[in-house]
Chains A and B, each alone.
Chain A
Amino acid sequence: MEALGQFGVNIWLLTAQIVNFLIIFYVIRRFALKPILSVLKNREKTIKEGLQQAEEARKMFEDAQEKEKELLKKAHTEVKQLLEEAKSQRKDMLQTAEAQTREAAEKILAEARSQIVLETKEAEKRLSAHVSQLAVMYLEKSLTGVFGEKEQSEIFDKALKSVKKKAD
């Protein structure tokens, strides 16, 4: 004790300070530390939950991004496929339409050719008949008065013989 006193330490003061400290420590522990710890714990819990939610949100966002990428990729593929199919169908339709048009045109041409042939033949026939009629008319006109009584008598006798044969 004396030694401590030599070093300038007042034992009573020290004791009182220790007691004071203990009392303050007890009071603080009893009334302030627990609520503060509780608040800190709550805060920690809230932060942890926030962090967890943020992590979940980040994961969800990443998943959503992934899904979006997949959907976009799928949609792109489908669109590409649809375009290919549309191109193919367009090509087929064009080919079919072209074939049908060609066939129809050929049919019309064949019919027209046939019609032309028929009409040409008909015209030739009419022309031939007309020419022969004209020839006969010309002959009739030019032969009028050409034959005399002698020729007429000969032909008449022949005609009578023919009639007689028929009558017999």
Chain B
Amino acid sequence: MTTCCIRPLLFCLALLSSPAGAEDWQLQRMPWGDPDFQGIWTSATVTTLERPDELPNLVLTELEAAAVESGMEDLREAIDNIGEGDLEAGGDVGGYNSFWMDPGTRVVRVRGEPRGSIITHPEDGQIPFRFTEKLRMYWNIYKVLTWTDHPEQRSEGERCTVGFGSTGGPPMLPVLYNNNYQFAQSPGHVMILVEMNHNVRTLRIGGEPLPEVIKPWFGDSIARWEGDTLVVETSQLHPEQFLRLAIKHQVMMGTDTRVTERFTRLNENELLYQFTVSDPDIYTEDWQGEMTLRKSEGPIYEYACHEGNYALPNILAGARQEEQE
């Protein structure tokens, strides 16, 4: 976790206090002419993928934005202020305290405009699931959370195959922690290192899709430049990455789902990230989202998940123990 809680806060304050600097900014280019997106970017935000009931509009008033942000502060305090004394034997021991999380402290702002959801279309800010597909997703969530007969039944985050939810994408969505991405470029390629779990998305500019039998984690991505915007088309998603389950979002993707991502550098500190998800088998219409990735300081440290995965064997061992009792 390069940014725990202080740094994003300071950074956002700096951003808000110096909007004038953006006007002097000029797009830097790589020596071969492509826009320079290099650096470490964070997507940490309190804004959720789907719009909460209490926020009817995509664009928030400053008052609404402040309320959403202070709500997260209250949640942090609630998480950290557990009761005095020993926990009851056999009771819920709770999860991480907020020190270990990086859920962001600010709402998404796109060109300064505070947002009530990452989803921009449909207008209600909700994922347009087909009814039966939403039921299927709930059934899959139930299975992933409760079935313990086999390691393959657990979530991808617990198995350490990829990070939680859709942190690695596509689309790359914010989760509770490690919301950092490093971009590096070479002629013909853009590399995105996703902090959780040291996952590399190698976006090649142009070229042919992989043979259909190959379905990589994060899919097969082919990119192109439209002006100074990097457009990335991805399909052939890994079948086991179909349920993107995180506390902050729940999404379902088929192997044939097509995700189009658009990256546009807005200024020194902001990279606009827009995406469209298309799959008529799962969704009644294409849905779209956008958010701003912000420059993050400090390096990305190693996120070695599988090597220290005590959770998965302990979940299975706990279930076997319960069966004995």
Q: Bound pair: A and B?
A: no
